[in-house]
Amino acid sequence: MLATGYKRVSKKRPCCVCGKPDWCSTTVTETISFCARSTLNSDRVSRYGWGVFYHDASRSDFSFDFKRNFKQLPKTKKSKVSHEMAPLAIRDKVYRKLIELSPATSNHVIVKGRGGLLERGILDFSHYGNLPRLINERRVLVERLVEELGKEGLRSFEGIPGFWRDTRRRLRLWSEQDAFDDLMLIAFVGPDDLIRACQIRFMRYIPNKSGRYVWLSSLKEKDGCGPGAPLHHANPCSRSAKSILVTEGALKAATAQRLLPDRYVVGNSGVATSHREIIETARRKPLEIAFDNDSFTNPHVARALAALLRSRSADQRSFAYDDAVTILSWDRRVKGLDEALLASLKLSSLTVAEWLKGLTPECREQANRQLFPG
Ligand SMILES: [Zn+2]
């Protein structure tokens, strides 16, 4: 059996890794997925940061020109072990300096472009940078970074996701290739206000496609490491907030935090990620879930949301509290919470039972399987 081509994912056949209908692709036989958004637990990572996932054990089935696009990595599944990350304070220092030396404001596409910061109602740019598109520009930036941080006594970049050393021991940042798009750097901040990791948003606008995000990672390089999938805390200082609101992505979280200042807003990097951290953050507090409005029709989102609900009930039992969980909903034609808020749409809070009632049969089956296993 030969798999000779690729096909793009679509609304009908969304990516089985991230659940989205665009950017990602599979082989025609659907035995291998190439996810543009997630490398978590992938079998390989491509040169451009795509996660490559094999769906069955018959990986000798494919014979297309794999080596041309993808680095040869060890064949055993999950054998690519991430090296240990540097201490939090060091990571924070490096990423803050990186953003300071190459701020979002140095690239108008990131600030004013389609899908940029201003369009999202984000007015504080301090957590956003401009990752140079060209390898030579990144090299210059790294030299400045080394010089500046050297003055502060920081000399090792070991364990900082995104950084690695080439065979001549030169410090490198991210990919060995020039990128076609402008690249926004998005800081993921922890509850202690320290930057854990950065995501990259490819700024090219393509109608009817959502943005493409990858982690700033050097997992695929020798001695490099990946950031895992940390949870972003939009305003860690606002601990007095009564309820915790979770949405997908740091940018949506920033918009939501600005427009819903009475909430403590967190953003995960995908509907299925950081569940434990969300549960811990929301312990003994009301939890509002505001993933994209397609949880009613997208089985992947419905399943992830139900898994989160299940972890929350388990936590409620273990820690004896009964604060409410609600699912936020708005006009179904609008996808993200950020768009809904910017358009001043009315938000409604659904109970779990109300949410289940609104799901398509396929989504309800997925949700029920999570909520009532066995
Ligand atoms: Zn995908």
Whether residues 304 and 349 share a domain: the answer is yes
User: Quick one: pLDDT at residue 66?
Assistant: 40
Q: In this structure, are residues 259 and 342 in contact, taking their beta carbons and an 8 Å threshold?
A: yes
Write the CATH number for 133: 3.90.980
HSE of 370 in the Cβ direction (CA atoms, 13 Å)?
Answer: 24
pLDDT in tens, 322-348: 999 999 999 999 999 999 999 999 999
Expressed in angstroms and rounded, the spacing between residue 11 Cα and the centre of ligand 1 is: 12
Return the closest-CA partner of residue 257 out of 241, 278, 274. 241
- The pLDDT confidence band at residue 12, using thresholds 50, 70 and 90, is confident
Report for 5-9, 42-46, 62-66, 139-143: range of highest mean pLDDT: 139-143
Expressed in angstroms and rounded, the spacing between residue 216 Cα and the centre of ligand 1 is: 17
Sign (positive or negative) of CA dihedral 173, 178, 179, 182: positive
Expressed in angstroms and rounded, the spacing between residue 21 Cα and the centre of ligand 1 is: 8
Last residue of a domain, one of 215, 243, 272: 215
Whether residues 202 and 239 share a domain: the answer is no
DSSP assignment of 306-322: HHHHHHHHHHHHHHT--
Q: In this structure, are residues 51 and 34 in contact, taking their beta carbons and an 8 Å threshold?
A: yes
**Are β-strands 51-54 and 232-233 bridged in parallel, bridged antiparallel, or unpaired?**
unpaired
Expressed in angstroms and rounded, the spacing between residue 51 Cα and the centre of ligand 1 is: 8
Whether residues 186 and 300 share a domain: the answer is no
Expressed in angstroms and rounded, the spacing between residue 366 Cα and the centre of ligand 1 is: 19
Expressed in angstroms and rounded, the spacing between residue 172 Cα and the centre of ligand 1 is: 27
Whether residues 236 and 209 share a domain: the answer is no
Expressed in angstroms and rounded, the spacing between residue 170 Cα and the centre of ligand 1 is: 33
Whether residues 202 and 257 share a domain: the answer is no
Expressed in angstroms and rounded, the spacing between residue 368 Cα and the centre of ligand 1 is: 24
Our CA angle for 222, 276, 308, nearest 5°, is 120
Residue 78 covered by a domain? no
Report for 98-102, 150-154, 295-299: range of highest mean pLDDT: 98-102
Residue 181 covered by a domain? yes
Residue 210 covered by a domain? yes
**Backbone Cα Rg of the chain:** 21
pLDDT in tens, 161-211: 999 999 999 999 998 889 989 999 999 999 999 999 999 999 988 877 777
Domain that holds residue 128: 88-215
Expressed in angstroms and rounded, the spacing between residue 270 Cα and the centre of ligand 1 is: 10
Expressed in angstroms and rounded, the spacing between residue 338 Cα and the centre of ligand 1 is: 22
What's the number of domains the chain is made of? 3
Expressed in angstroms and rounded, the spacing between residue 199 Cα and the centre of ligand 1 is: 16
Expressed in angstroms and rounded, the spacing between residue 292 Cα and the centre of ligand 1 is: 15
Residue 75 covered by a domain? no
Task: Tell me the whole-structure pTM to 2 decimals.
Answer: 0.81
Whether residues 338 and 265 share a domain: the answer is yes
Q: Which long-range contacts (CB under 8 A, 24 or more apart) does 106-110 make?
A: 106/130, 107/182, 107/184, 109/182, 109/203, 110/182, 110/184, 110/203
User: Quick one: pLDDT at residue 84?
Assistant: 83
Whether residues 205 and 132 share a domain: the answer is yes
Task: Report how far residue 19's alpha carbon sits from residue 337's, in angstroms, rounded to the nearest whole number.
Answer: 18
Expressed in angstroms and rounded, the spacing between residue 299 Cα and the centre of ligand 1 is: 14
**Are β-strands 263-268 and 232-233 bridged in parallel, bridged antiparallel, or unpaired?**
antiparallel
Residue 34 covered by a domain? yes
Expressed in angstroms and rounded, the spacing between residue 18 Cα and the centre of ligand 1 is: 4
Write the CATH number for 346: 3.40.1360
Residue 221 covered by a domain? no
Whether residues 200 and 249 share a domain: the answer is no
User: Quick one: pLDDT at residue 65?
Assistant: 38
Expressed in angstroms and rounded, the spacing between residue 228 Cα and the centre of ligand 1 is: 17
Expressed in angstroms and rounded, the spacing between residue 23 Cα and the centre of ligand 1 is: 7
| pLDDT over 50 at 2, yes or no | no
